[in-house]
Structure 1
Amino acid sequence: MASTVSEGNLKAPIRHPLDWQNPEFYDEAALLKEMERVFDICHGCRRCVSLCQSFPTLFDLVDSSESMEVDGIKTEDYRKVVEHCFLCDLCYMTKCPYVPPHDWTLDFPHLMLRAKAVQYRKKGASFRDRTLTNTDAMGAPLANPVMAPVVNLLNSMRPARKALEAVGGIDAEAWLPTYASRPLRKRLDILPPETQGEPAGRTTGKIALFATCYMNRNEPDPGEDLVAVYAHNGIPVTLTPHEKCCGMPRLELGDLEAVCQHKEINIPVLATLVDEGWDLTALIPSCVLMFKQELPLMFPDDADVMKVKGAFYDPFEYLILRAREGKLRTDFKTPLGKVALHAACHQRVQNIGPKTKEALSLVPGTEVDLIERCSGHDGTYAVKAEFAKFAMKIVKPVVARVDAAKPDHFGSDCAMAGHHIAHARKAGGEPEHPISLLRKAYGV
C-alpha cells in the first residue's frame, strides 16, 4: 500500500470524466457519504486552507463540533462548504496530494459540483443567481447606445447600489462591470472561411475568436487589441459566426442541463470552424477552460467536443507556440517597465505554464512579477452580498503583491479579476489586460 501511495503522489493528476448523466450522480445519500469521506481526508491534511473560503469553513465546522471530527458536523451544514467553492480547481491541480491516480481518488471541485447539481435539481436557484448566470439574457438588452449609459450611471450611484443590495442581494461596495455602447461584435468584421494563415507547429496560423459574453458586451477593447496583435504577426482573426455563453456560470450554479443546452449551440459552430482550418481562442480563461476541460469531461464520447478541445488555445499560449517556430515578431517599440501580472486560476489549471509572462518578457525593458494566487472574484462570487467580504479577504494578498511591486502596469488575464484587484487597492489605478499591454509594446 505504501508503495502504491508513493507512486501515485509522483504521477501527474488524472481527471476522470464527470458521470453527470448517471442517476446515481444525484443520489443524495451517496453524495453525503462521499462528502464525509472527502471532508475527513481534507481535515487530516489542511494544505488547502489558504486557497478559498471553503476550506476554512470546513475546518471551523470540524473544530467547533462536539467530536472535533467530521462525524460531528451536521450534514445540513455541508452546504456551507459547498457555497464557498467557485470551482477554481486550484486545490485539485496545485495542492492536493490525493488526487487520481492516488488510491483515494479525491476530486474536491467535482464533488462540490456534484453537490451543487444535486441542490439545483432539488431546489433550483434564487432569482438573483439565475439572473447573474444568465449572461446572454442580462447583457444583450443592455449593451447598446441607449441602455448602456443609463445602467452604467445607475451602477455608479450609491443610493441605487444600496437599493440593489437590499432588493437583489448584490453587494453595494463590490465592483460591477460597465456595459459597452458598441459591443465587440459590432466592431469587428467576420473573415471568410477561405482566409489563409501560415501554419507553424500545431497551429494553422488563423484563429477564430469566441467573443465571450463579457468581452463582447462589457469590455470589448481587449478584443480589438488581440486582433491588432495577431494581425501584426500575420495571423488572421475572425469571430465565430454566432455564440452562446460558454456555460461556465451555469456549471458553477450546478445547472448541468443548461450547460448541455449551451454546448449544443456552441460546439457545432466551433467544430465547423475547426473543419475549415481555424484554430480557436477566447480572452476569458474560464471560457477557454470550459472548452478545453469541462465540456470534454462532461461529454468524453462526443467527437466534436473533443475536436474543439484540440483546437482551443489560450491567446498567449498560441503566440508562444508560434514564437517557438520563429513566427512571432519581436519588433517592439515601447518597453513596459514593471508589470504586476495576476495569473488567473482558470488559466493556471490549463497546465500550459505562464505563457502570458513568457510573452510579455520578450519585450525589452520589461520585468514581469507573476502573482499566482486566486483573486477571489469568480465572476459572480465577489458581487454577492453574503460572499463579498470573503472575496475581499481572498484578494488581499494579491493586492499586497501588486502594491509591493510598485508597477508601471498591473492586470490579469481575467479582466474581471483585474478590476477586482484594482477595486481592492487603496492606491487605485486602472488594470490593463496583458493583450492590451502587448499591443502597446508593439505600437500598433
Structure 2
Amino acid sequence: MRTPRHIVAAVALLAATGAGADTVEVTSTTLVSAGQQARDRRLGEAPDLVTVVPAYEIVNITARDIRTSIADDLQLQLSGWGSYDFDSLRWDNGTSESLTGDLMSAQVQAKFLDRRLTLRLGREHVMSGVARMIQIDGGEAILVLPGGFRLSGYVGSPVAQRFASRSGVKSWNPAGGDFAYGGRVGWSLAIPGHAGRGLDVGASANVVEDAGDPVRQEVGADFRLQPLQTVSFTGFGAFSVYDERFSEASVAARWKPVHRLEVSADWRFLAPDLFLARNSILSVFSASTRKEYGVGLDYELGRGLSVGADYHLSVEPGETTEDDSYLGHDLVMRADWTRGATDAGAEVTYLDALENGYWAGRLYGKQGFGKVFAAADVMSYFFKEDVNGESFAVTGSLSGGIELARGFSAVLSGRAGVTPYMEQTYDVMAKLVYNQTYTVREVR
C-alpha cells in the first residue's frame, strides 16, 4: 500500500514549515466495494444489472497548535478523496471517467488578539446561523467582543463538485452559485453553576447569487437557553426575503426530571421548496409546507439496558385542495443493551404518510474479542401499499474487523437482501484504515 508513504511525506512537509506543530493527526481510509446497480429501466421491462467495483482513498491531515510569532494559534487542515471504478461506472460517479476525486476541505485557521479574532481561509463549511453548513471557497472571520457579544462574517464562492461548473443549474451544491456572503451577530450570558448553563441568542443572514441572479436570500434567528442543568430549550427560524415567507422554524425542549429519565418535545415547520436554489426547476414542483409535533423519552433501566420511544405527528399537504391536510404518524420504539464488549439492540418503527407507510423491525448486535469484533444487522419493512407489486423488503449485513499494528485496522462486511426494486441484491466491502497522531516538538 503506497498511502503511508504519501502520508509520511505530508507530515514531514507540515513539520518542516519553520513553525512547530505540537500535534499532527493523520487518517487514511482505503475502501473497495463490489455489488450490483440497476440501469436503463424501461416501463414494463426489467432493468439491466451491472456490476460496480469502486475503490476509494480518503485522506485527512490536521496540524494543530502550530507556534508562530505572528498568530496565537495556527491550524492547517486538509481533507480529500479519490476513487477508481474497476468495472462499470457507478451511478454517482459524477463524471464519464473511471478515475475521479475531490477536495472536501483545505483551510488555514489563525487566531489573533489573545484568541479573540479567528480568521479562516480556504475551502470550508460555514456553520453560523442560517448559513446551513454552506461549503465555500473563501474566508471567514469570527470576533469575540466584551460583554458576551460575538460577530462573524464570511464571503466566497460555493463549492462545485470535482471542480466542475459553479453554475447553480449544473452544480450539485443545493446553494450552487458563484458568490456567497453572510454572517451572524450573537450574544451569550453564562449562568454560574454547572457547565452549559446560560443563554445564547443570535441573528444571521445568508445570500447566494449566480451571475447576479438570486439563489438564496435568507435571514434567521436562533437561541439556546439552559436555566438548569436538567432543562434546556433551543429554537431556530429562517425567513426567505426573496419569497417573503418562512422557510423553516423549530423549537425543542429537553427535561431530565430524574437521573435515568429524559423527556423531550419538539415542533418544526418546513417549506421544502425553499431549501432548493431559487433558479432550480425542482423548486416549482415542491411548493408545499408541512409541520411536525413530537415527543420522546429515554429511560435507563439499569444493568446496561435502556429503552426509548419517539412519536411525531405530521401535517402534510393532502391530495385535493391546497387547504386540505393529511395527518401522518411516525413512531420509533427501541431498546439497547450494553455489557462489556457486547452491544445489542432492537427497534420497531411505524410510518403513516400520504403516499405510503410501513411497519419495520430491526435487530442488531456487536461483539468484541480483544482486537477483533463481529457485528450483525437485520432490518425488514412491511408496506401499507405494495411497491412494485411487493409487500415487504428484508436486508441483512455481517461485518468483521481487526485492529492491526501501527495504527492500521481492517474491516470486511457483506450485505444481502430482497427489495421491491431488486429480487436479490448484494454487495461486499473491504476497508483498511490508518489512524495515527504524531507529536512534533521543535527545539528553538
TM-score range relative to shorter protein: under 0.3
- TM-score w.r.t. length of structure 2: 0.21
Whichever structure has more strand as a proportion of its residues is: 2
Q: Whose Rg is larger?
A: 2
Whichever structure has more helix as a proportion of its residues is: 1
Structure scoring higher RCO (CA < 8 A, sep ≥ 6) equals 1
